[in-house]
Amino acid sequence: MATLSRPYAKLGGLESAGGSASPSPIARMRGWLAAWLPAIPLLLLVSTCLIAPVLVLIWQSFTSMGETGLSLDLWFKVLGQHANQDAILTSLVLAASCATVTLIIGAPLSWMISRMLRGSRAFWLGLLNVAANFGGIGLAFAYMATIGSVGMLTLIVQGLGINFEAPREGSLPALLMAYEYTNVPLFVLLTIPAMAILRDDWWEAAQTAAATRLVFWRRIGGPILAPFLAAGWLLIFTWTLGIYGIAYGLAGQSGATAVHLITLQIGSALQSDVLLGPGRAAILAVVLMAFATTSLVLYRIILRRAMRWL
Amino acid sequence: MAVDAARDGVRSRAPARERLRAGGRISRAARYLFFGAVLGYFCIPMAAVLIYSFATRWTANVLPDGYTLDWWQATVSNPRIQSAFSTSMALATLTAFIDIAVVVPAAYWSRVRNARIRHVIEVAAAVPFALPYVVIAFGLMQFSGVVAPQFQGTFVLLVAGHAAIAFPFVYWAVDGAMAAAGIERLSETAEACGASPMQIVRLVVIPNISSGLVTGGLLSFAASFGEFAMAQIIGRGLDTVPLWSAEMIRSYSDTAGSYNRLAVVTLLTFAVLFVLSAVVVYWNRGQTVRLLPGAGASDEGGRR
């Protein structure tokens, strides 16, 4: 509140409420309006298109099949189905392995780019920025054109006389490879600022104390960077859980033989099943929401701990 | 693996003490290998798509059997693709302008007047940040079915949905620009000089946050242009570029050349995104980091 410019602060009903007489309702209303009016269009947009939809989904998942009153029937039914259990498990496994691979490739990449000279740094940041924005169906197609069954790399390797079979387009390894195309750049771009925290002086100081590189990374570098890397892992995990476009492009076409993912199940429940579809999709959406919220909360906690070093 | 990372370094000039980023000859080779692999991973798929868009038939040999410009010609002159592109362009442009129009006043007011607005916005921004677009789109479909069924499947609803999921990009960019410009002091000064609130916004705020406006606008444009889940769920009956691409990728009939046309459209989409990213990077020389979806949250950890 210290930043309030004085003339406005005097007008505002909210901030200057400590007046002698309690203001009339109209004056109060005016004060409220003065405090919130410019934000109202945004708040309207956000409440109708983000908050309300989320609440409607949660509500719908508990009011099953047109019955009145709350019930968990549909929850048991949906979560009891093998395909849905499979989808939840596969999504979690895929997200966790994607995030781990991203961490293994992204952490060194991020560290090295953060220590580059300006020119090459700009080149890599630009490249990663473009790759991070590429996704969806286009990326699914690029994957198929590269190592699909008749993709370029597949043909090259086979042309060398090696008996090589590309992973099926709807399989987990294929999804993982395609997902990494956007995950690694996102991870690097998110963690690069944290890499600047580790100062070069500390390594010199550690050397003066006769520390080896290994000791330095285990005692100083690792512990300082770990929370940021963990936070990056969690974000990639969350985002991977929710990827739909790439999965639809790659796995969608093989139909029943493809992997089950939560997002794909939501999409197909909407398209196939008019009567039960929305309820079923709502439950899967709430499950997805629960995972995402949990990991976002964890992410915030971890980041707050990491802040100690700033 | 962080240890290996440290061993690979950049440019040792053999100083008295070993530098953290310095590395030996072996680790330098390993580093080149690593960067080469990463570069290949990012560039080869694009090359494959590029070649695909010029290929006549490409199913047996390492390189296509022949090359042709027909796909480009046919795709660019195809009325359906043209209309998909213009729909997507209109969608993305509207999304960007609506977001700027609603975010700038709110962000400005939260800085000069009512700090509570910030808390509300930050909670709202966490929704598209964390929740998958499929979930939001599905919720929006259900909600609009209850409140305003006549809007279902329309362009208007899709614009609103895109504006809602893309608004954090604009907010983070604009808010960052406002912080950098010190907008509170500027507007206080303008007030002291007797400027009206409208004058302040027009003559002081907007000129000082132009980089944030450009960045936020382009990012929300890009987010909307490539968005697929929401377009598919609430934009039935519309024809955007991602929806067209999804139809093509599913109708596997390579002989009809649908994959070649898809290659052309993918490249065109990529070109649009590339130009947008290039402008963003150029505009914010070296500060790409702040612009990412994580920026709001990672600001706490990342701002230096």
Q: What is the mean pLDDT of residues B214-234?
A: 88
- Highest-confidence range of A53-67, B176-190, B283-297, by mean pLDDT? B176-190
Q: What is the mean pLDDT of residues A27-34?
A: 83
pLDDT in tens, A188-233: 988 888 888 788 788 888 888 887 888 888 888 888 888 888 988 9
Which residues in chain A have Cβ-Cβ distances shorter than 8 Å to B188?
5-6
The CATH number of B75-302 is 1.10.3720.10
Mean pLDDT of chain A: 80
Q: Is the CB of residue A151 less than 8 Å away from at least one CB of chain B?
A: yes
Q: How confident is the model at residue B23 (pLDDT cuts 50, 70, 90)?
A: low
Q: How confident is the model at residue A70 (pLDDT cuts 50, 70, 90)?
A: low
* Whole-angstrom distance, CA of residue B98 vs CA of residue B199: 21
Which pLDDT does position B26 carry in this prediction? 65
Which pLDDT does position B159 carry in this prediction? 93
Listed in sequence order, the residues at least 6 apart from B107 whose beta carbon sits closer than 8 Å to its beta carbon are B121, B171, B174, B175, B178
Listed in sequence order, the residues at least 6 apart from A297 whose beta carbon sits closer than 8 Å to its beta carbon are none
Q: Determine whether B114 is exposed, middle or buried from the number of CB atoms within 10 Å of its CB (0-12, 13-18, 19+).
A: buried
Closest approach of chain A CAs to the CA of B245, in angstroms?
Answer: 6
Closest approach of chain B CAs to the CA of A20, in angstroms?
Answer: 22
pLDDT in tens, B117-126: 888 888 888 8
Please name the residues between 39 and 58 in chain A that touch chain B, using a CB distance below 8 Å. 39, 41-43, 45-54, 56-57
Q: Which of A166-170, A188-192, B32-36, B191-195 has the lowest mean pLDDT?
A: A166-170
Task: With a cut of 80, say whether residue A184 has pLDDT above it.
Answer: yes
Pick among A6, A33, A46 to test the B interface (most B CBs inside 10 A): A46
Contact B129 A296 (CB under 8 A): yes
Task: With a cut of 90, say whether residue B56 has pLDDT above it.
Answer: no
Task: With a cut of 50, say whether residue B293 has pLDDT above it.
Answer: no
Q: How confident is the model at residue A2 (pLDDT cuts 50, 70, 90)?
A: very low
CA–chain centroid gap for A27, Å, is 44
Closest approach of chain A CAs to the CA of B220, in angstroms?
Answer: 11
Contact B160 A129 (CB under 8 A): no
Which one is predicted more confidently, B211 or B302? Answer: B211
Q: What is the mean pLDDT of residues B112-139?
A: 88
Contact A243 B38 (CB under 8 A): no
* Whole-angstrom distance, CA of residue A218 vs CA of residue A214: 6
Is this prediction's ipTM beyond 0.95?
Answer: no
Pick among A1, A3, A5 to test the B interface (most B CBs inside 10 A): A5
Q: How confident is the model at residue B29 (pLDDT cuts 50, 70, 90)?
A: confident
Which token pair is A237? 């995990």
The domain locations on chain A are: 73-309
Between 1.10.1040.10, 1.10.10.10, 3.40.50.800, 1.10.3720.10, what CATH number should domain A73-309 receive? 1.10.3720.10
Q: What is the mean pLDDT of residues A246-252?
A: 81
pLDDT in tens, A166-179: 777 778 888 898 89
Q: Is the CB of residue A203 less than 8 Å away from at least one CB of chain B?
A: yes
Q: What is the mean pLDDT of residues A94-100?
A: 94
Closest approach of chain A CAs to the CA of B73, in angstroms?
Answer: 20
Q: Where in chain B is the domain with CATH 1.10.3720.10?
A: 75-302
DSSP one-letter string for chain B? -HHHHHHS-S-----SSPPTT---HHHHHHHHHHHHHHHHHHHHHHHHHHHHHHBS--SSSSS-S-B-SHHHHHHHT-HHHHHHHHHHHHHHHHHHHHHHHHHHHHHHHHHHT-THHHHHHHHHHHHHHHS-HHHHHHHHHHHHHHH-GGGTT-HHHHHHHHHHHHHHHHHHHHHHHHHHHTHHHHHHHHHHTT--HHHIIIIIIHHHTHHHHHHHHHHHHHHHHT--HHHHHH-TT---HHHHHHHHHHS--GGGTHHHHHHHHHHHHHHHHHHHHHHHHHHTTT-GGGGSTTHHHHHHHH--
- Find out whether A53 and A47 touch, Cβ atoms under 8 Å: no
Which pLDDT does position A237 carry in this prediction? 92
Which residues in chain A have Cβ-Cβ distances shorter than 8 Å to B147?
48
CA contacts within 13 A on the Cβ side of A26? 0
Q: Which of A131, A145, A266 sits opposite B49 (nearest CB)?
A: A145
Q: Which of A47, A133, A141 sits opposite B245 (nearest CB)?
A: A141
Q: How confident is the model at residue A155 (pLDDT cuts 50, 70, 90)?
A: confident
Give the percent of chain B with pLDDT over 90: 12
Contact A193 B289 (CB under 8 A): yes
Closest approach of chain B CAs to the CA of A242, in angstroms?
Answer: 4
Give chain A's radius of gyration (CA, Å): 26
Task: With a cut of 60, say whether residue B289 has pLDDT above it.
Answer: no
The residue of chain B nearest to residue A242, with distances taken between CA atoms, is B132
The residue of chain B nearest to residue A206, with distances taken between CA atoms, is B20
